[in-house]
């Protein structure tokens, strides 16, 4: 983490840091709100909650885990460290827009458990990041509130839906950021922006304070440039929270040791650069001493239709709450309450969100449920079974994160439908509920980053970190993916601007 726990330390450093982020983000668009002073000293009420087992429990658990590992405790690693939060995760004092017109003015009245746990470990929220409206998209172009670019090439997207979080980390504006991942929304932008992106096991991290999109798939995830802070964040935010009844303590059992890695056979439809990167990573793993074993996933072709059936069905129910009555955008005039709701939703929701609500409503209509929703859920069972069988023989599986490279803004290179098809590898892990990590593996000759995805059985996140750690070690100082040009680290930028500050 080096200089990161110093940047909020005193007024001079905060001033330099604030200028740095405002200057660098002006052309990038990662943040919807940025104010490092706002939660520098959170009101005591948020911390002094003796009845809140989630809060106190996370600190003591983090401490004992850190001590057991014999190293730095996670909370000391995060002390004073700034972090960004995707704007569909609640942080009191900031807005909670979900990048939607309908919630543009919404002030969050409370703070998500994952954020509270980060702050309890000493980290501080500095801002809220852009996303595809309600997390629906693969480009962040579906944000109603701003455009986010890829730090490696401003004509290209940062990915999505956690595009703002990934871009902020890639540009060095924060060392870590929280995002949400329903079908790949942390891993895909992490891959496009050359950073790590973790989707934990479903239920490993509390969803309390995460605005619901598809409740059986949603998880809070983490983006980071380096592996160790990503692990520190995961260790702090995970664990049981009585405010989310799907949250769980990690199930003990799966060992962290990886000796055999599964590689996919019969991969189709990959961009040549992604295919080459996949093959090189496989060779790399072999060179590191891992045994490889071919894995065939015959259910892969059903992943995307099953995922979109389930995700849109759940979204249509979850988003029914936005009606402009108690909060959110309300039309100037309406003849009656029904009209008020229809106008609020028509004016407040963007086209992609409407599309998914309509689809979800359609697949749940009486007469169609067996054909679509129930069928998708049975495919989900087939996918889980097939992955469980694969994990009998291998401890982890390597796939590309995304079959395509970061694409240009708009639909010129990849239509909205093709963007959905590209969720194939990430949505596989989402449907099975298993953990997955996108690892920045290499850069193309054109300088675009390519990520690879590691999968492990439920609650075996340590295996992902172990393999990713070996890959990073082997790459050495150079790292696997170079930093984007024009986005120097804060100390270099500050020195060039004449700030005489010691960041060590």
Partner 1 sequence: MENEELRVTAELAEIGLSESELQSLGVAVSELVRYFATMMEADLEELEPTTHALMAHNRTRADEPSAEPEATAESLLENAPELEDRFIVIPNVL
Give min distance, CB of 325 to partner 1, in A: 6
- Interacting residues of 239 by C-beta distance below 8 A, sequence separation 6+: 54, 57, 58, 61, 204, 205, 206, 247, 249, 250
Give min distance, CB of 230 to partner 1, in A: 22
- Interacting residues of 403 by C-beta distance below 8 A, sequence separation 6+: 269, 270, 271, 274, 422, 424, 425
User: Which of residues 27 and 337 has its CB atom nearest to partner 1 in the complex?
Assistant: 337
Angle at 101 between CA 96 and CA 104, to 5 degrees: 35
C-alpha distances out from residue 418 to 139, 270, 427, Å: 12, 12, 14
- Residue 46 and residue 76: Cα distance in Å, rounded? 20
The position carrying tokens 């000796």 is 259
**The length of the chain, given as a count of residues:** 504
Give min distance, CB of 445 to partner 1, in A: 34
What positions carry a catalytic annotation? 86, 161, 185
Which tokens belong to 278? 């996949």
What are the φ and ψ backbone dihedral angles of 462, each rounded to 5 degrees?
-55, -30
Which tokens belong to 108? 């969050």
User: Which of residues 61 and 116 has its CB atom nearest to partner 1 in the complex?
Assistant: 116
User: Which of residues 107 and 255 has its CB atom nearest to partner 1 in the complex?
Assistant: 107
What is the bridge-based pairing of β-strands 153-157 and 149-150? antiparallel
Give min distance, CB of 298 to partner 1, in A: 10
- Residue 175 and residue 4: Cα distance in Å, rounded? 7
Give min distance, CB of 345 to partner 1, in A: 5
């Amino acid at each position: 983490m080096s200089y990161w726990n110093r940047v909020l330390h005193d007024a001079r450093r905060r001033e330099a840091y604030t200028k740095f982020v405002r200057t660098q983000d002006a052309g990038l668009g990662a943040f919807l709100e940025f104010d490092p002073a706002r939660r520098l000293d959170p009101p005591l009420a948020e911390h002094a909650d003796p009845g809140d087992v989630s809060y106190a429990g996370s600190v003591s658990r983090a401490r004992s885990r850190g001590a057991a590992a014999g190293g730095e405790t996670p909370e000391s690693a995060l002390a004073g460290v700034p972090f960004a939060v995707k704007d569909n995760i609640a942080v009191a004092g900031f807005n909670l827009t979900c990048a939607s017109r309908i919630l543009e003015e919404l002030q969050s009245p409370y703070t998500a458990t994952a954020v509270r746990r980060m702050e309890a470990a000493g980290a501080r929220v500095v801002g809220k990041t852009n996303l595809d409206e309600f997390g629906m998209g693969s480009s962040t172009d579906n944000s109603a509130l701003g455009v986010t670019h890829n730090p490696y090439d401003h004509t290209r997207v940062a990915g999505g839906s956690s595009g703002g979080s990934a871009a902020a980390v890639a540009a060095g504006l924060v060392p870590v950021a929280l995002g949400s991942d329903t079908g790949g929304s942390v891993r895909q932008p992490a891959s496009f922006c050359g950073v790590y992106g973790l989707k934990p096991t479903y239920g490993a991290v509390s969803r309390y304070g995460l605005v619901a999109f598809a409740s059986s798939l949603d998880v809070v995830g983490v983006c980071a440039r380096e592996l160790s802070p990503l692990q520190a964040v995961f260790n702090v935010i995970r664990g049981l929270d009585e405010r989310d009844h799907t949250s769980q303590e990690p199930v003990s059992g799966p060992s962290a040791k990886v000796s055999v890695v599964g590689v996919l056979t019969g991969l189709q439809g990959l961009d040549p650069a992604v295919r080459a990167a996949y093959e090189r990573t496989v060779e790399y793993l072999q060179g590191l001493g891992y045994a490889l074993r071919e894995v065939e996933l015959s259910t892969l072709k059903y992943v995307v239709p099953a995922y979109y059936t389930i995700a849109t069905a759940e979204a249509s129910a979850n988003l029914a709450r936005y009606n402009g009555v108690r909060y959110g955008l309300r039309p100037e005039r309406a003849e009656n309450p029904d009209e008020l709701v229809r106008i609020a939703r028509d004016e407040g929701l963007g086209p992609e969100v409407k599309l998914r609500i309509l689809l979800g409503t359609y697949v749940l209509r009486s007469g169609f449920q067996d054909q679509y929703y129930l069928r998708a859920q049975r495919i989900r069972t087939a996918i889980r079974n097939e992955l469980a069988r694969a994990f009998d023989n291998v401890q982890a599986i390597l796939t590309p994160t995304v079959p395509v490279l970061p694409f240009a803004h708009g639909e010129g290179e990849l239509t909205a439908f093709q963007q959905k098809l590209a969720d194939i590898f990430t949505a596989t892990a989402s449907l099975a509920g298993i953990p997955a990590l996108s690892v920045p593996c290499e850069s193309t000759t054109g300088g675009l980053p390519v990520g690879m995805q590691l999968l492990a059985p439920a609650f075996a996140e340590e295996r992902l970190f172990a393999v990713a750690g070996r890959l990073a070690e082997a790459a050495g100082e150079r790292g696997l993916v170079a930093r984007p040009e024009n986005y120097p680290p804060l100390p270099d930028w500050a020195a060039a601007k004449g700030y005489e500050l010691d960041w060590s």
